Amino acid sequence: MQSRLRDVALFSTLSPRELKVVSTLIHQRSALAGEVIFDEGEEGQAIYFVFSGEIMICHQGHAASPIAMMGAGRIFGELALIDGGPRSAQARAAKDCELGVMFRGDFQNLMESHASIATKISFQLARHYAGIIRMLAASQRDTQ
């Protein structure tokens, strides 16, 4: 599990010892092509890590026009760690997938028991969001 987590940018700054701690909180999940991982509007309870395969993010009923495709090393459903609010889109396996799952409660426990690890993960999550914001700003400029 630790070697798979090393390939996920969210965990790239963690030491081997820290990865070992985090690996105890990650649940493995397989998904077949076409399987819905979560639905739009569903309560966000976990963040997902793509170990292999591909995930399609789309609005329900609009699978023909995906918002994003997520391959190995990518994360999705990350807002669940922040607010646990309803999912803004559907996640569906575009190909057979191997996923890692971290539940919000497990991350909250990590913040209490291993604050330095949670801080490193939170910083990487902030960098991830900064990249998304920059990409959206650039695409907004391109459409004007």
Cα-based angle 103, 93, 29 (whole degrees, multiple of 5) = 40
Topology (CATH level 3) of domain 2-106+114-142: Jelly Rolls (2.60.120)
Does the pLDDT of residue 81 top 90, yes or no?
Answer: no
pLDDT band at 144 (very low <50, low <70, confident <90, very high): low
**pLDDT score at 65:** 83
Does the pLDDT of residue 133 top 90, yes or no?
Answer: no
- Mean pLDDT confidence for 51-63: 90
Q: Where are the domains of the chain?
A: 2-106+114-142
DSSP code for 26: P
Q: What is the pLDDT of residues 98-124, one digit of tens each?
A: 999 999 999 999 999 999 999 999 999
Does the pLDDT of residue 139 top 80, yes or no?
Answer: no
The overall average pLDDT reported for the chain is 92
CA-closest candidate to residue 121, choices 21, 3, 4: 21
**pLDDT score at 141:** 75
Q: Over the Cα atoms of the chain, what is R_g?
A: 15
Q: 3-state SS of the chain: helix, strand, coil percent to 5? A: 40, 25, 35
